[in-house]
Amino acid sequence: MAFKIKKIDHIQLAAPKGCEEAARNFFGEILGLMEVEKPDELKKRGGVWFEFGTFQLHIGVEVPFSPAKKAHPAFVVENIEELKRHLSRNEITFQEDDNLPGASRIHVNDPFGNRLEFLEWE
């Protein structure tokens, strides 16, 4: 092949119109992702972008909106036990899942009902 896929640039999750403040609170304040400015031409579409490491998470407005219940991004975390305590302190529920050998993982719904996975490899 004359081409190769090198890495993921960003993940996009859909959200309803008017989602920006809830997204900033959940992804920015609670999960600690850094908001990055959207290009001017894309700002009028709504939504908000975040960055972590060398990746970006884009929250994009979709009308009509329907949350992703099965499809999901999976985020590798350090100290998942502290993440669980942090989520609990912020009244965010999660489901523990021990079905992946060698990993401790949880599933969380974002404020819009999209499924997110967080895991730590042993």
Cα Rg of the chain (Å, integer): 15
Rounded CA gap, 66 and 117, in Å? 18
How is residue 70 annotated by DSSP? S
Average pLDDT, the chain: 97
pLDDT in tens, 3-58: 999 999 999 999 999 999 999 999 999 999 999 999 999 999 999 999 999 999 99
> In the chain, what are the domain boundaries?
10-121
The correct answer on CATH 3.20.20.70 for the domain covering 10-121 is: no
Global pTM?
A: 0.94
Region 52-66 average pLDDT: 96
Per-residue pLDDT for 76 more than 90?
yes
Alpha-carbon 51 to chain mean position: 10
Check: CB of residue 70 under 8 Å from CB of residue 60: no
